[in-house]
Amino acid sequence: MANPTQNSAQNSAQNYFRKTEQGDDLLKRERKKERAASTAKTANLRELRLAKEAADKAELEKQQAGRPASRKRQPRAKPTPMLRLTY
């Protein structure tokens, strides 16, 4: 028969490692949930931003449609520069 103290130590070590693995699995599941929540939040915010940009663009086009076409300004004729005469 095996040594009872060695068997007890092995059982204790196995229990310890089993608990740490369960803890790791729990952490992995939590991280996965957090990532999924973050991804969903980001997607929702992106949809809202794109919808707002589309509404802003439509409003701008609507405002520009009511205005007459803008005329291009004619550039002003620049006055001739003064000549500096030296004696």
Q: Per-residue pLDDT for the chain (87 aa), expressed as one digit of tens each?
A: 456 667 888 888 888 889 888 888 889 999 999 999 999 999 999 999 999 999 999 999 988 887 776 677 888 888 888 888 787
- What's the rounded Cα separation, in Å, for the pair 37 and 43? 10
- Residue 14's SS3 state is helix
14 alpha-carbon distance from chain centroid: 43
pLDDT at 42: 97
Q: Using CA atoms, how far apart are residues 44 and 48, in angstroms rounded to an integer?
A: 6
- pTM for the full predicted model: 0.50
Reading the block at residue 11, the tokens are: 């059982």
pLDDT at 32: 95
The domain limits of the chain are 28-60
